Amino acid sequence: MPAEEILIRVDDKDNQVGTDTRENCHLGRGLRHRAYVVFLFHGGRLLLQRRSREKLLWPGYWDVSYTSGERVLQASRRGIRRKLHP
């Protein structure tokens, strides 16, 4: 089983106020955390993926790829490589 993902919690001015698990941040209690979205286009077409039906939030919905808790450029490159070459 993969390690639990830890997210960086922030206030409304993006000041770091702590860390918490992805699951705790996504329980609907309004915990802000750093995140970003990566949109991949090829020939004018947007690449989407269907979320697993096992996901806690939005199971089975179409989504874009994202990750958090790293430098944005570094994480974007890593995430894109992982999605395109599993």
- pLDDT tens for 55-78 read 877 899 998 865 555 566 777 777
Across residues 43-66, what is the average pLDDT?
87
Band (pLDDT 50/70/90 cuts) for residue 43 is: very high
What is the SS3 assignment for 73? helix
Q: Is 25 exposed, middle or buried (0-12, 13-18, 19+ CB in 10 A)?
A: buried
- pLDDT at 7 exceeding the cut of 70: yes
Task: Enumerate the β-bridge partners of residue 20.
Answer: 7
Q: Is 47 exposed, middle or buried (0-12, 13-18, 19+ CB in 10 A)?
A: middle
Rounded distance between C-alpha atoms, residue 8 and residue 26, angstroms: 13
pTM > 0.75: no
